[in-house]
Amino acid sequence: AGIRAQPGGGIRAQPGGGIRAQPGAGIRAESGAGIRAQPGGGIRAESGAGIRAQPGGGIRAQPGGGIRAQPGGGIRAQPGAGIRAESGAGIRAQPGAGIRAESEAGIRAQPDGG
């Protein structure tokens, strides 16, 4: 599955997964994943990742990135991206994507192993 929870609710990817928890609540990607946490919990994309932060913490996709922010900080995938934001903070995968966020808890793998 490539993603596992750390004690206390942190999340760290297995080798190749590309996501690990920062101390506290931040999350940053391993090299190549293209997303990096900013101090205080913000997230910004590395160059070429196709995701750009908006002032105030919003996230907007660059052309072709397939992810755009909803008002209030939500994130919704463009068609084909396979990820959509649930109201509040959770993110749930569209069918086939295999990753779903648990309420205020993190990410768990779906049965298909994603």
| pTM for the full predicted model | 0.17
What's the rounded Cα separation, in Å, for the pair 6 and 84? 24
CA atoms within 13 A on the CB side of 10: 15
Q: How far apart are CA 11 and CA 78, in angstroms?
A: 25
Tens of pLDDT, residue by residue over 58-97, are 544 444 444 554 555 554 444 444 444 444 444 444 444 4
Judge contact between 12 and 21, C-beta under 8 A: yes
Arithmetic mean of pLDDT, 20-47: 46
Which tokens in the block code for residue 98?
């295999």
- Domain borders along the chain are 3-109
Give me the residues paired with residue 93 across strands: 83
What pLDDT was estimated at residue 95? 46
